[in-house]
Structure 1
């Protein structure tokens, strides 16, 4: 690798290194209000202990509701759970619910409202819209839209999955071969995502996350060693590699989805649309990467292989850090 390529790799590595600690983090806060009996509600809200919301966030309860007793707080892994009982005068529909402090954070929050006399509703809060007016019961729940967006965000912000797909694109030269390989990855992670979410299979999260990081290191090494006159086994049968590692990535997706939670009564729809969102994000990564490779090849064809190698060094270095971190954690 030339000096210019080494500099490019270093810049790439330094630019992405701060994101390494968020390799597979997609843990939005959530609020769940469940009506236990007419006018009596239980409220649960969860936030990461490492986030601003977990340290100082506060739920904005509907104006026609008041606390009934003391709130209870407990730690559950890396999250803090707050529970409280509410007494509400009349329907909560048309009332406002939200999170104080969400506008200062970088995460989202899910709100689930489960009345006795109507269907559960799922609403997404963002830093730009930290509070929302609860829609009338006649409004169709936006579970599908909410979980599709979460799936897209997970593949785009869950950097280990993003790096794996990007490395696949860098390794392969043929568009049709890339399509088949990405399809194999999709089928594999869909199988384990559904199986794990529905309780049919499970694996411990720490070794799974460590091997996911190792899968990225493997692909990065394959990109670096790739030569036009020496087709490697991973280039001959990339769909096999993608399928086997995709099974593990599916466990990672399932772990993230378990942290978020699924709405009772809408589990199949939420699961389907989350997976759909993942695929939309995945296709976006492939499209952007292929476009960049095409234009780079058109403008400076002799830069293409060196740039791929530099990016592979950056991806491999960060993934190695993840592997070590996840192994010794």
Structure 2
């Protein structure tokens, strides 16, 4: 019985690891001067067979100057290089050569004095043509995919959503809590992106970790009558405001295309919501399966799940406070 429960807990907590394997390659190609560009990329390592030395395929008029700067980050290989290009790169192709272990790559091109453009690369379309001016449809599509990527690859946001579903446990209250969380983080995401406020990013990241610890403690308390149990939508709304600052920080790092900021902001937020709903549906399905197979084990399974959630959240909290 204990082994069965442990396996089920690991299955419930397997979603973050799976999401990490879904993380795309991230490529940044930024112009520094008329001929100088900086190329940076991060390749998540999904398996031992992944090509960790892969380098983006540059336009034919560009070449890498000097040695590539390599470093290993947690679960990813990171590269950086200086590039020189002859003439305008508009109309030239740039791509990614190795999709083993990853299904897509997000390419960001930042020409000097022109709008940022974002492209999604796949094994079927491993390269993209750099546009002189990105279209509105391209902005909508690209930022939507970035939003989905951010929620699925952002372990802290992902773990918070999982913990919230485990705490509320029933479909209709989960829908209300998830809606409140969505409305709240949409408010702060828009406010920060449009320049109406903000909080230091290191403080935001620490508070997000604290929110995970808080939910883990609430789950571990079982059916104890608390404000969180009575009004989960209110707690979700309060923490949603906080998580919105985190989403805004990620979007700020990506950059927004001038002239298409509303489209980029709305499509990014819609992408976040789609990714979030996928996670909510997956966790609810697992809980429904548990109730059908072994309903008497639900309370103990939830309590068991709260410990690794709390430990991970506490580790992130300490790391973000002292790291």
State the distance in 1 between where 2:178 and 2:155 align.
17
Secondary structure, in 3 states, of the residue corresponding to 2:95? strand
1:110 to 104, 107, 111: 107
Offset at 1:261? 2.0
Distance 1:324 1:139, change over 3 A: closer
SS at match of 2:86: strand
Q: Verify the 8 A CA contact 1:32 1:44 in the aligned structure 2.
A: yes
Q: Deviations over 1:89-127 (max 9, x none)?
A: 7x842x321246x546858332337699x9875312357
CA drift of 1:199 comes to 2.4
Which of 205, 211, 214 is the matching residue for 1:209? 205
Give TM-score, length-normalised by structure 2: 0.77
72 and 269 in structure 1: CA distance in 2 versus 1, 3 angstrom threshold? farther
Q: Distance in 2 between matches of 1:250 and 1:26?
A: 22
Instruction: Choose from 270, 278, 281 the match for 1:276.
Output: 270
Paired residues for 1:68-217 under 5 Å: 84=83, 86-88=85-87, 92-93=90-91, 95-99=92-96, 103=99, 108-112=105-109, 121-126=117-122, 130-134=126-130, 141-217=137-213
After superposition, what is the alpha-carbon deviation per residue over 1:125-184, rounded to whole angstroms, capped at 9, x for unaligned?
Answer: 357754334579897652211111111121122111111111111111443222221111
Q: How many residues align?
A: 310
TM-score, normalising length: structure 1: 0.76
Tell me the SS of whatever aligns to 1:124: strand
Question: Are the equivalent residues in 1 in contact too, given 2:136–2:263 (CA < 8 A)?
Answer: no
Does residue 67 of structure 2 align to residue 30 of structure 1? no
Q: Give the whole-Å Cα distance in 1 for the aligned partners of 2:253 and 2:134.
A: 29
**Residue from 236, 240, 263 that aligns with 2:234:** 240
Superposed CA RMSD in Å reads: 4.1
CA distance in 1: counterparts of 2:117 and 2:139, whole angstroms: 7
Partners of 2:39 and 2:82 within 8 A in 1: yes
